[in-house]
Structure 1
């Protein structure tokens, strides 16, 4: 019988790995918004863009407003995307709010050339968001909407989906600022952010082929299908040295899902053998169609 998981071990592992990535991503996004875009009346889309408008109009803290606006969408994430997604997203929303109001609010804002503010803000926000999306998580807000769309249409570019949602927020903000230059700078920021996101995760079009040799094939295959929503092919095999029966699992995933695949396999069978190869093109259900419909 398996021993129950040790919460202390899980927390220690999280602090060694994911915490630093999440904190770094939140810091980059908070720096981009609090120091570069919001002080220059540049709206970059998302709930942070709405919070920036409220900050400039009413003086409300960006982090607190962002956290408050996220609560309804987090409930949607709970119903549609599951508990683990909610927990990781809630962490990111909390980190982002704390970084925005508690750390970078104390740094003097950049009030120089607006074009530079738009470019640097877009690069920082895009880099932070790209890091989080690559790990299958979210920073809340419109990211949840992006995640739901991407689940239904996995072949769409995440960067382009983000671009569409951000443009909608910019158009709404235009009614408040009524400054065409501010909107144009916002478009520059969104473009820089989109290019940064795609620069990090657009390789997902190439995808990865995972070949997993494990003695717990059924359990591993079930976890991959249920949690990653990817098909798995199971082949019977025998170890040449040990003579023991094994299963060889073939699973094609997007690059952003590779971290989660390795985590799942390691959790179920730490003794598994995993080979990851590039899949230059993937055709079939869930990917690109093999031929004309």
Structure 2
């Protein structure tokens, strides 16, 4: 007999979204310090920033705006409100944290693992509180509903294109370390965020 999944209280959701957004923001600071790239919507925002010199926070916030409509249709207003809040917090923190958080010389292997772990833990917290940070996952689910083409493949194809574009902005070694970080991120989520194993 399986136990019913408990509903989170308002304060628990607030803590979870704040924690997840903060972990992701720390990851973005380290990632950009190392000159890495990543996947999903955050990866697209980072590539735009590398190519233009614009700040990550505003770019990430604006990129996500079109996806809220899809999120509303697919998951409802509560998911959209929580995701909007998480994106806003991450965008703001990514602009504030560099004033207070500084990284010295960091080996790229250690940085890649740490970026993957920080982002993975942050996203798991957001997922478990009915929130998210990016629009590509929503697009993947939308495509899956409409065509049957798996959402995971949609995200994989998008990320592959991002990393190919990254080769024109970053050297192959840096892109390789970035890919390691993406692998660690996805493994962290795959192993630790399973509805058939965890109830909250």
**Are residues 170 and 102 of structure 1, via their aligned partners in 2, closer, same or farther at CA, if it must alter by over 3 Å?**
same
Query: Deviations for 1:31-66, whole angstroms, at most 9, x for unmatched residues?
Result: 1111x2112221111222222233334331111110
Q: 1:37 aligns with which of 8, 13, 31?
A: 31
1:100 and 2:100 aligned: no
CA–CA distance in 2 between the matches of 1:135 and 1:149?
24
Unmatched tracts of structure 1, length 5 or more: 1-12, 208-254, 260-293
Matches within 5 A, 1:210-229: none
1:61 and 2:55 aligned: yes
Query: Deviations for 1:176-196, whole angstroms, at most 9, x for unmatched residues?
Result: 32x111211111011000011
Partner of 2:4: none
Q: Which has the higher helix share?
A: 2
Q: With the length of structure 2 as denominator, give the TM-score of the two structures.
A: 0.81
Unmatched tracts of structure 2, length 5 or more: 1-8
Between 1 and 2, higher relative CO (CA 8 Å, sep ≥ 6) is seen in: 2
CA–CA distance in 2 between the matches of 1:133 and 1:83?
15
Q: 2:103 aligns with which of 91, 99, 109?
A: 109
- Alignment length (residue pairs): 191
CA contact (8 A) 2:140 2:151 kept: no
CA contact (8 A) 1:163 1:191 kept: no
Q: With the length of structure 1 as denominator, give the TM-score of the two structures.
A: 0.57
Matches within 5 A, 1:148-187: 148=142, 163-177=156-170, 179-187=171-179
1:132 and 2:126 aligned: yes
CA–CA distance in 2 between the matches of 1:147 and 1:109?
37
Query: Deviations for 1:257-277, whole angstroms, at most 9, x for unmatched residues?
Result: x55xxxxxxxxxxxxxxxxxx
DSSP 3-state at the match of 1:123: helix
Q: Which has the higher strand share?
A: 1
CA–CA distance in 1 between the matches of 2:38 and 2:64?
17
**Are residues 110 and 143 of structure 1, via their aligned partners in 2, closer, same or farther at CA, if it must alter by over 3 Å?**
farther
Query: Deviations for 1:232-258, whole angstroms, at most 9, x for unmatched residues?
Result: xxxxxxxxxxxxxxxxxxxxxxx5xx5
1:71: how far off? 0.8
1:104: how far off? 4.3
CA–CA distance in 2 between the matches of 1:81 and 1:46?
19
**Are residues 48 and 105 of structure 1, via their aligned partners in 2, closer, same or farther at CA, if it must alter by over 3 Å?**
farther
